[in-house]
Structure 1
């Protein structure tokens, strides 16, 4: 079986938006206020956990929203 690079794996595209961490919750959850004004619950992506990147209150982050539930997402980048 040959694997081809660049071939779509069938994953849905996710919206990536910027926001600010407003509250830290138990179990590595964060309440993030997006630039457009709404709030979402977000958890830290696996790569950020592996590299032990800390997310603190007031940090500017990029959130990848779930296509299934627009009120939940994953924090994929923390701005400096």
Structure 2
């Protein structure tokens, strides 16, 4: 039986060589993400600031595979939501 992977929505913060990215999850954990084969094969560009879906293994929660890049919407900038989460969480 295959192990269950955790799927999170995340924000790409940094870009590294060879399809590696620093990704911030919804719960503000930082993960090293790498591009899945389908994304690489279809030449989908991922840049810092993009919202992605990432699959994290329960055995190693420091790395994950980027499996989907969300479309950018013009009506509302979702990056503002992520930044406002940081401001509200840092009231400690």
Q: TM-score, normalised by structure 2?
A: 0.74
Segments of structure 2 that go 5 or more residues without pairing to the other structure are: 72-92
The root-mean-square deviation of aligned C-alpha atoms, in Å, is: 0.7
Alignment of 1:11 with 2:31, yes or no, is no
Q: TM-score, normalised by structure 1?
A: 0.85
Deviation at 1:67, TM superposition (A): 2.3
Report what 1:45 is aligned to.
36
Structure ranking higher in strand proportion: 1
Segments of structure 1 that go 5 or more residues without pairing to the other structure are: 1-9
**Residues 1-80 of structure 1: pairs in structure 2 closer than 5 A:** 10-80=1-71
Structure number with the bigger relative contact order (C-alpha 8 A, sep ≥ 6) is 1
Aligned residues: 71
Structure ranking higher in helix proportion: 2
Deviation at 1:49, TM superposition (A): 0.7
